[in-house]
């Protein structure tokens, strides 16, 4: 197949012409030449046939290839070693702060505001530790034997409790002559009270607090 | 086996976090403890807020004319050891957290010759006779921890 000087000029453009890579001006120029040149028209036909064969061959090869987990395999090849957890955290944090600083700052500010609003409400609802009960209550009272007093729990007008020691009546007995057959009433009258308060306690017979 | 510095630091930090959270779990209950001197010497009531106490004592048959607060302390009670309160008569009163059942603290108070078992509540007060002092009687007044000092 002989080639004229014009063919030599157009031959390098034939392959790009088939592939559609020429600019419109070049394409029109090549098409004009092809209309006049039989040799180049045959060359173009050969190139098209060759290109078709190549495409079919590539498609056959692609059908035989296994593309399962292709992306993972590629990523595994390009990521050499998995860094330690701390490094990954550090990297993730630094990247987050670098590329999404605005979002992070906004999120933190929002969380802080929510905390400031919610915390007082939560704390106000909950009673302090150990104070689930409504009122203070006296459960038990014991007094040392050596104290020679009896414990009394008095309830006040406000519902509070007073734990007070009252002297035993037995201790007042020696004040009464042994031969006297004193009644309890007389004992109470004769027994010298330790304080004016004790007298009042005995007279009033306090009702006592909650036990 | 060689442990890297960063790993050792990580373990130390983890240990610190775990131990601090364990310590934070130890329950602490606050209670306000006032020591009042009730006597028949004079008619002073100091601070004036103790007028309410005077009225309550009178209604219960304990008619003292003078009430004076000698000390006021907010105690932080734990199960581990009792909180001590030095009384002006040289004795020591103790307040100990015994247990917390259903959110209610049970407290043991030892004042003078008396031992009192209490259940704490958000309202009310408990007055415990704590022995003689000068010519009057010392009274240990226990109030909820959230109560303000009168």
For A90-123, letters b (16+ CB in 10 Å) and e give eeeeeeeeeeeeeeeeeeeeeeeeeeeeeeeeee
Residues A150 and A115 in one domain: no
Domain-embedded: residue A164: yes
Q: What is the pLDDT of residues B105-137, one digit of tens each?
A: 999 999 888 899 999 998 999 999 998 998 899
State the best of B28, B124, B141 to mutate against chain A, taking most chain A CBs within 10 Å. B124
| Yes or no, beta carbons of A133 and B117 under 8 Å apart | no
Residue in chain A closest to B97 (alpha carbons) equals: A130
Distance from CA of A200 to the nearest CA of B (A): 6
Q: What percent of chain B has pLDDT over 90?
A: 59
- How large is the average pLDDT for residues A199-205? 44
pLDDT of residue B8: 56
Q: Could you tell me if B118 lies within 8 Å of chain A, comparing CB atoms?
A: yes
Q: Are residues A115 and A149 in the same domain?
A: no
In this structure, the answer to whether residues A119 and A150 fall within a common structural domain is no
| Nearest to B52, CA basis, from A40, A160, A201, A77 | A160
Work out the average pLDDT over A23-51.
Answer: 93
Helix (H) or strand (E) holding B61: none
For A204, the closest chain B residue by CA position comes to: B61
In a domain, A48, yes or no: yes
Range of the domain at A196: 145-204
Residue B67 lies in a domain: yes
Q: How confident is the model at residue B1 (pLDDT cuts 50, 70, 90)?
A: very low
**What is the token pair recorded at B136?**
């009057």
Q: Does the complex come out with an ipTM higher than 0.85?
A: no
Q: Has residue A74 been placed in a domain?
A: no
Backbone angles phi, psi at A176, to 5 degrees: -100, 140
The gap between the terminal CA atoms of chain A, to the nearest Å, is: 124
Nearest CA-CA distance, residue A125 and chain B, Å: 13
Query: Is A75 a domain residue?
Result: no
pLDDT at B3: 46
In order of A73, B27, B30, the CA distances from B21 in angstroms are 44, 12, 20
B115 touches A at CB < 8 Å: yes
Q: How confident is the model at residue A76 (pLDDT cuts 50, 70, 90)?
A: confident
Q: Is A127 in contact with B122 (Cβ distance < 8 A)?
A: yes
Enumerate residues 6+ apart whose C-beta is below 8 A from A81.
none
Which residue does chain B place closest to A87, by CA atoms?
A: B6
The answer as to whether A154 is a domain residue is yes
Please, are residues B5 and A84 in contact by the beta-carbon 8 Å criterion?
no
Residue A126: closest CA among chain B residues belongs to which residue? Answer: B103
Inter-residue contact A166 to A194 (CB < 8 Å) = no
The alpha carbons of chain B give a radius of gyration, in whole angstroms, of 21
pLDDT digits (tens, 9 = 90+) for A138-172: 999 988 877 778 888 998 888 899 999 887 655 44
What residue in A sits closest to B58 (Cα-Cα)?
A156
Counting residues of chain A whose pLDDT is more than 90, the rounded percentage is 32
pLDDT at residue A209 tops 70: no
* A140 lies in some domain: no
Residue A71 distance to chain B (closest CA, Å): 33
B77 chain-A contacts, CB cut-off 8 A? 130
Give pLDDT, residue B125.
Answer: 93
Query: Which residues in chain B are contacts of A207 at CB distance < 8 A?
Result: none
Interface contact A156-B100, CB threshold 8 A: no
Please indicate, yes or no, whether residues A120 and A165 belong to a single structural domain of this protein: no
Cβ–Cβ below 8 Å for A136 and B125: yes
d(CA A143, CA B127): 15
Asked whether residue B4 is domain-assigned, the answer is no
Q: Do B121 and A137 touch (CB under 8 A)?
A: yes
- The pLDDT value given to residue B106: 93
Give the number of other Cβ atoms within 10 Å of residue A6's Cβ: 12
Which chain A residues contact residue B66 at CB under 8 A? none
Percent of chain A with pLDDT over 70: 77
B15 to chain A nearest CA, in Å? 17
Lowest mean pLDDT among A4-13, A64-73, A87-96, B43-52: A64-73
On whether residue B11 sits in a domain, the answer given is: no
Question: Stretch A43-47: mean pLDDT, rounded?
Answer: 94
Would an 8 Å CB–CB cutoff place B51 in contact with chain A? Answer: no
Of A207 and A164, more confident: A164
Last residue in a domain, options A77, A95, A125: A125
> Is residue B139 in a domain?
yes
| Contact criterion met (CB below 8 Å) for B121 and B144 | yes
Instruction: Give the confidence band of A189 by pLDDT, cuts at 50, 70, 90.
Output: very low
pLDDT given for residue A181 in this prediction: 38
Answer with the residue of higher pLDDT: B10 or A185.
B10
The number of domains in chain A is 3
Residues of chain A whose C-beta is under 8 A from some C-beta in B?
86, 127-144, 146-147, 149, 151, 154-165, 196-197, 200-201, 203-204, 206
Closest residue in A to B143 (Cα) is: A136
Q: Give Cα B123 to chain centroid, integer Å.
A: 15
The whole domain housing B54 covers: 27-144
What does DSSP say about strands B114-119 and B83-86: parallel, antiparallel, or unpaired?
unpaired
The verdict on residue A100 lying in a domain is yes
Placement of tokens 């090869």 in the chain: A61
Q: Let me know if residue B2 belongs to a domain.
A: no
The number of distinct structural domains making up chain B is 1
Helix (H) or strand (E) holding B116: strand B114-119
Give the pTM.
0.53
Contact A136 B142 (CB under 8 A): yes
Does residue B23 surpass a pLDDT of 80? no
Is the Cβ of B147 closer than 8 Å to some Cβ of chain A?
Answer: no
């Amino acid at each position: 197949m002989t080639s004229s000087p014009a063919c030599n000029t157009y031959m390098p453009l034939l392959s790009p012409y088939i592939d559609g890579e020429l600019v419109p001006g070049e394409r029109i120029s090549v098409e004009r030449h092809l209309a006049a040149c039989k040799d180049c028209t045959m060359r173009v036909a050969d190139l098209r046939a060759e290109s078709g064969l190549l495409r079919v061959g590539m498609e056959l090869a692609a059908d035989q290839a296994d593309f399962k987990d292709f992306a993972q395999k590629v990523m595994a090849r390009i990521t050499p070693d998995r860094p330690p957890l701390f490094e990954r955290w550090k990297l993730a944090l630094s990247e987050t702060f670098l590329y999404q600083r605005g979002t992070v700052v906004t999120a933190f500010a929002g969380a802080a505001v929510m905390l400031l609003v919610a915390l007082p409400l939560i704390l106000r609802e909950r009673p302090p530790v150990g104070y689930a009960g409504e009122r203070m209550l006296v459960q038990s009272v014991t007094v040392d034997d050596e104290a020679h007093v009896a414990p009394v729990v008095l309830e006040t007008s406000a519902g509070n409790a007073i734990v007070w020691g009252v002297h035993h009546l037995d201790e007042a007995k020696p004040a009464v002559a042994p031969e006297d057959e004193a009644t309890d009433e007389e004992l109470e009258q004769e027994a010298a009270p330790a304080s004016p308060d004790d007298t009042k306690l005995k007279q009033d017979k306090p009702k006592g607090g909650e036990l | 086996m060689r442990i890297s510095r960063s790993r050792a630091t990580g373990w130390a930090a983890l240990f610190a976090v775990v131990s601090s959270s364990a310590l934070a779990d130890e329950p602490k209950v606050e209670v306000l403890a006032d020591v009042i001197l009730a006597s028949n010497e004079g008619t002073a009531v100091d601070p004036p807020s103790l007028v309410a106490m005077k009225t309550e004592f009178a209604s219960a048959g304990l008619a003292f004319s003078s009430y004076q607060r000698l000390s006021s302390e907010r105690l932080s009670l734990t199960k581990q050891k009792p909180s001590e309160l030095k009384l002006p008569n040289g004795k020591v009163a103790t307040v100990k957290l015994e247990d917390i059942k259903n959110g209610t603290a049970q407290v043991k108070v030892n004042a003078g010759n008396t031992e009192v078992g209490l259940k704490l509540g958000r309202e009310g007060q408990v007055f415990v006779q704590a022995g003689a002092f000068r010519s009057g009687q010392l009274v240990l007044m226990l109030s909820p921890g959230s109560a303000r000092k009168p």
